[in-house]
Structure 1
Amino acid sequence: MPVTDLTAVVTGAASRRGIGRATAHALAAAGWNIAVLDLDEAAAKESADEIAARHGVHAVGLACDVTDESAVAAAADALAADPRPVGALVNNAGITSPTRFLDVEAAEWDRVFAVNVRGAFSITRALAPGMVERGFGRIVFLSSVSAERGGGVFGGVAYSAAKAAQLGFARALAREIGPNGVTVNSVAPGLIDTDITGGALEGERKAALLAGIPVGRSGRVSDVADLITYLCRAESGYITGATYDVNGGSHIH
């Protein structure tokens, strides 16, 4: 089935300057229909309208808190009722936390894991069975260079641990559902210009980080979105269980 008949679901894709929105646009440009899932229903619908108008695909915006089982179930039901079945899922929804480990409270630790890990589990668990049944699917996790190098960019231990959990999740799932035509990969961005850090990475701190990036700049959301779109192609079916670094060479291993 060509991607023009399928829907790509991108969680957390309402933010104007975020990786999720850029990814939704890139996938739509490649012919995918799009479902934007986000906490902010109005922003999700606005994002979907923009994508539909720009690329001529079908796009829908749905309210969905990935940490809420009933909200995930409602979104999954809405997607199941659409004649364009889900062929790709981008687990982009996430939150960061710069709190040092010796200062982090259990509630904050649980919140970071609830969105980044449990949230990814809930939406993947809801949508993966359909992909397996249809014999085609592309799942991509938005991890982080922090998971590979042990933090040190913006996120603290909770964030690094949660993003590392996503890597293990993706690799094990790739083994399990690979025989059913579903690939599962991870993308690990480094310093990307988005709003997620709330302006905390500016001035001397940003300059210091840029000094350690061989290509000499921070990343653009399009750098990540284009790679995700590549991994979602039908032609990328022999790539699974992999982690792709998008960090300008700041972490080479």
Structure 2
Amino acid sequence: MTDCAIVTGAAGALGGAVTRALRESTATRGLELWLVDSPRHLARAEQLATELGSARAMGANIAVAAEWRSVLEALGAAGGVPVAAALIAGGYRGGAPFWASEESSLDDMMSGNLGTVAASLRAILPGMVERKYGRVVVIGSRAVERPWTGAGAAAYAASKAAVVALAQAVAAECLEHQVTVNAILPSTMDTPANRAAMPEADPTRWVPLAAAAKLVVSLLEPGAGHVTGAAIPIYGRA
């Protein structure tokens, strides 16, 4: 059997950075990487898998339990055992006060952020608990600790607060099983999309992708077993 790390949202900016950091870290370099993203982003995930080697890409809607089962069945058929998971897939919607936003915005953010993390935890934790080992990291937001910074994106801020609350409660449930569940709380990250959306901002004040990825990977390493239920800020100078 081969120990594996799963990265959801692997085709995105942070997902790609985490995938590369997993390959570069001496503590996680030996893991086979499974890159999971939506079918419409599968080509990018496949390109990254080819670039890195010892990596596989799959397209799946990870908010759907049946699709998660397909991912884990494929992983198992290949002799893989998931020992680490970076649950990065999610979404963002903002740009208007809550009362002026689309009626669907809250449901969409809860589904895209909380729903994907919840489905992912339900899928991967039973095996980790049974094997008495696992490392899981989810992505929150600075707005979890500083809700006022979520002005203009209240639905997003609420969904990320729910993600972190779920992760911390699940971490407590896993205490006796040597499975850790942690969250990072980034402020604005320096991505091409954010630079395009905020051309007047100073990106040197944002969180570099490499720094956020390094933090995620540090929590996925075997030596991070005494850190669980944490929500770790990484704000840069934003």
On whether the aligned pair clears a TM of 0.5, the verdict is yes
Aligned with residue 22 of structure 1, among 17, 26, 35: 17
1:127 and 1:59 map into 2 onto residues whose CA distance is 18
Task: Report the CA distance between 1:146 and its aligned residue.
Answer: 1.8
- Describe how 1:1-253 pairs up with structure 2 within 5 A: 5-15=2-12, 18-30=13-25, 31=29, 32-39=31-38, 40-52=41-53, 58-98=54-94, 99-150=96-147, 152=149, 156-197=153-194, 199-203=196-200, 206-207=201-202, 217-250=205-238
Paired with 1:79 and 1:123, the residues of 2 have a C-alpha distance of 15
TM-score, normalising length: structure 2: 0.90
Q: How much has 1:84 moved relative to structure 2?
A: 2.6
- 2 CA distance for matches of 1:143 and 1:227? 13
Taking a change above 3 Å as real, the CA distance of residues 153 and 50 of structure 1, as seen in their structure-2 partners, is: farther
Moved more, 167-176 or 28-37: 28-37
Segment of structure 1 superposing worse, 149-158 or 96-105: 149-158
Task: Using the aligned pairs only, state the percent identity.
Answer: 30
RMSD between superposed Cα atoms in Å: 1.9
Residues 188 and 161 of structure 1, relative CA distance in 2, 3 Å threshold:
same
| 2: CA distance, partners of 1:51 / 1:115 | 28
The one-letter code of the counterpart of 2:65 is E
Structure 1 stretches lacking a partner, 5+ long: 53-57, 211-215
Separation of aligned partners in 2, 1:236 and 1:137? 10
**How many Å apart are 1:196 and its aligned residue?**
4.7
Structure-2 change in CA distance of 1:155 and 1:38 (3 Å)? farther
CA offset digits 1:159-212 (Å, max 9, x no partner): 000110111011101100121110010001112111454722221xx14xx7xx
Residues 124 and 195 (structure 1), Cα distance of their counterparts in 2 relative to 1, 3 Å cut? farther
Deviates more, 1:147-156 or 1:129-138: 147-156
Count of residue correspondences: 231
Residue identity opposite 1:156 in structure 2: A
1:140: Cα distance to partner? 0.3
CA distance in 2, matches of 1:110, 1:168: 17
Q: Structure 2: where are the runs of 5+ without partners?
A: none
Q: Which region of structure 1 is more displaced relative to structure 2, 43-52 or 158-167?
A: 43-52
What letter matches 1:22 in structure 2?
A
In terms of mean alpha carbon deviation, does 164-173 or 144-153 score higher?
144-153
Q: Which has the higher strand share?
A: 2
**CA drift at 1:112:** 1.1
TM-score, normalised to structure 1, is 0.85
**Paired residues of 2:150 and 2:157 also in contact (CA < 8 A):** no
